[in-house]
Amino acid sequence: MGKDNKQQTVSDQTQPRLQVEGLAGRRGERLLFQNMNFTVDAGEVLEVSGHNGSGKTTLLRLLCGLLLPEEGTLQWRGQPINKIRPLYHSELSYVGHTDAIKGELTAHENLMIAGALNGGGIDPEQALERVGLTKIRELPGRFLSAGQRRRLALARLLVNRAWLWLLDEPFTALDKVAIRTIATLLEEHAAAGGMAIFTSHHAINIAHARTLEISA
């Protein structure tokens, strides 16, 4: 958050805000949802729920700009995201189903690289500690368990520090302690003025989170 980026000068006059209007999402022949409207402001967390195949991942990919909407508009800081892509992408962090961890690099090195590419957040060492991975900091990514991989992917959020977190099933593979840790990170992010949208099949209690149900 608050990165130095000259491209931001025009839109720095507006507050971080994601506005979704009349959104429709299609995969193949299936129209998954339509006329979807919501706004996420600074300090807000939105949980997207729905049954398997309802379109949660599709929605997140639309919000990232990885898919194009069938209909509707997506605006960031009051501007269509397709007109301010570099700014928008510099202000969001996406953690999808794949953890994007480099197997030949250690856990620590994976975070160092993430910090070098985007940065703006806490030190990789501190991020590893926050997600309980200090003991395996020197283990190559390919040796990490599923839950450790997930923790490491989520630790990237801390070294990058973007305004908007888009998280696709962040709690998958996590044990109870890690679930609470990540829930706390979401709460702290919102309390610091950040915003987050996440999908989940778990019953997670996140303070002040709103829910958006995708129903077929």
Which one of 19, 54, 148, 160 is in contact with ligand ATP (CB under 6 A)?
A: 54
Which one of 32, 62, 63, 195 is in contact with ligand ATP (CB under 6 A)?
A: 32
Find out whether 54 and 215 touch, Cβ atoms under 8 Å: yes
Which one of 16, 45, 50, 108 is in contact with ligand ATP (CB under 6 A)?
A: 50
| Residue 3: HSE in the Cβ half-sphere, 13 Å Cα cutoff | 24
Which one of 22, 35, 37, 53 is in contact with ligand ATP (CB under 6 A)?
A: 53
CA distances 69 to 3, 76, 106, 117, Å, are: 28, 15, 38, 29
∠ CA 52-54-172, nearest 5°, is 40
Find out whether 84 and 35 touch, Cβ atoms under 8 Å: no
Closer Cβ to ligand ATP, 95 or 136, answer by number:
95
Which one of 58, 110, 148, 160 is in contact with ligand ATP (CB under 6 A)?
A: 58
Find out whether 53 and 19 touch, Cβ atoms under 8 Å: no
Q: How far is the CB of 72 from ligand ATP (least distance, A)?
A: 16
Which one of 19, 45, 47, 56 is in contact with ligand ATP (CB under 6 A)?
A: 56
Q: How far is the CB of 56 from ligand ATP (least distance, A)?
A: 4
| End-to-end CA, the chain | 35
Find out whether 200 and 50 touch, Cβ atoms under 8 Å: no
Binding piece for ligand ATP, criterion CB under 6 A, among 22-30, 65-73, 120-128, 148-156: 22-30
Q: How far is the CB of 24 from ligand ATP (least distance, A)?
A: 13
What order of strands is seen across the sheet that includes strand 164-167?
Answer: 92-95, 164-167, 195-199, 45-49, 210-213
52 binds ligand ATP (CB under 6 A): yes
Chain positions contacting ligand ATP, by CB under 6 A: 27-28, 30, 32, 50, 52-58
